[in-house]
């Protein structure tokens, strides 16, 4: 059983949680599943993604995550059930009046509360060209780190605010992972592309908690979203806050379409 001190600390750090977080961690099994957070607006993209994955031969179970009836109404959920996907109402695990989930910020909470060990968090508008079960989960990078991300484009160099934020808020000394980022070296204002996030919840439960906290209402409105673009950077930063390992999966570059000068 948890001590009163741990219980009080948990309530102070994560007042929005409606479940016992220790119990949530202890119930992590060994399932591997794709989790697609979406609302009504992005539902057509999610349907395209689901059918595309099956066309590629991907057999991983799929769950669609949402934040209450207002985010994804009953008719939409009924249609998704006909596609043989699971449903996860993230608002059932939190005080959504306090959190106000309904956009980007749903994603880390979907990863945190999805009752699976290996989660592939995928934006609804992603298009896969190969089975992610093989390309991502079977990779040596995922096996070693249990957290695989993708780099974003290198854009808008010279940003000094983001390196300053990292220096002020991450554990010192900064890890080599942080100091090697383009963001810290001021080569790019963006570091992580969060459209696809692969994570082992058992190995990175504390990192996911930190990522979720960065996207909680008070933290995102008063601090995190003022510096970073939505949830994009919160995954690797959350893991860094917890002192946990992560890496990028650097794919071979490809081109779709024709090159025109």
**Which residue shows structure tokens 């010279």?**
158
Mean pLDDT of the chain: 95
Model pLDDT for residues 141-186, shown as the tens digit of each residue = 999 999 999 999 999 999 999 999 999 999 999 999 999 999 999 9
Helix (H) or strand (E) holding 194: strand 192-200
> How many Cα neighbours within 13 Å face the side chain of 219?
19
Contacts of 200 (CB under 8 A, 6+ apart): 117, 118, 142, 146, 147
Residue-level pLDDT at 27: 94
Contact 215, 108 (CB under 8 A): yes
| pLDDT tens digits, one per residue of 28-69 | 999 999 999 999 999 999 999 999 999 999 999 999 999 999
Write out pLDDT tens, residues 62-84. Answer: 999 999 999 999 999 999 999 99
Using only C-alpha atoms, the chain has a radius of gyration, in whole angstroms, of 18
Count CB atoms within 10 A of the CB of residue 17: 21
Under DSSP, the state recorded for 94 is B
Tell which residue, 94, 95, 104, has the closest CA to residue 37: 104
What lies within 8 Å, CB to CB, of 255 at 6+ separation is: none
Maximum distance among all Cα pairs of the chain, rounded to whole angstroms: 66
How many C-beta atoms lie closer than 10 Å to residue 242's C-beta? Answer: 15
Of 33, 185, 47, the residue nearest 124 (C-alpha): 47
**pLDDT, tens digit, for every residue of 102-133?**
889 999 999 999 999 999 999 999 999 999 99
H or E element at residue 248:
strand 247-248
- Cα 104–109–111 angle (5° rounding)? 105
**What is the reported pLDDT for 6?**
85
Phi/psi for 66 (5° steps) reads -150, 175
pLDDT at 256: 74
pLDDT reported for residue 70: 94
> What are phi and psi for residue 192, nearest 5 degrees?
-105, 140
């Amino acid at each position: 059983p948890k001590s009163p001190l741990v219980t009080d600390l948990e309530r102070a750090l994560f007042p929005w949680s409606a479940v016992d977080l220790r119990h949530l961690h202890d119930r992590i099994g060994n399932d591997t599943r794709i989790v697609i957070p979406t609302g009504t607006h992005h539902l057509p993209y999610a349907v395209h993604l689901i059918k595309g994955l099956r066309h590629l031969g991907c057999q991983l179970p799929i769950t669609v995550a949402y934040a209450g009836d207002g985010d994804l109404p009953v008719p939409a959920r009924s249609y998704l059930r006909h596609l043989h996907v699971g449903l996860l109402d993230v608002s059932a695990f939190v005080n959504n009046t306090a959190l106000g989930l309904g956009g980007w910020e749903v994603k880390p909470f979907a990863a945190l509360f999805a009752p699976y060990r290996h989660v592939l968090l995928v934006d609804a508008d992603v298009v896969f060209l190969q089975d992610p079960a093989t390309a991502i989960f079977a990779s040596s990078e995922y096996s070693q780190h249990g957290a695989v991300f993708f780099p974003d484009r290198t854009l808008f160099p010279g940003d000094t605010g983001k390196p300053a934020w990292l220096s002020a808020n991450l554990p010192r000394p900064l890890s080599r992972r942080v100091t090697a980022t383009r963001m810290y070296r001021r080569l790019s204002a963006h570091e992580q592309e969060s459209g696809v996030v692969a994570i082992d919840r058992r190995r990175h439960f504390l990192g996911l908690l930190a990522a979720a906290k960065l996207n909680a209402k008070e933290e995102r409105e008063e601090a995190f979203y003022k510096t970073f673009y939505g949830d994009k950077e919160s995954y690797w930063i959350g893991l860094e806050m917890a002192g946990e390992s992560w890496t990028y999966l650097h794919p071979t570059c490809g081109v779709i379409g024709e090159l025109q000068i």
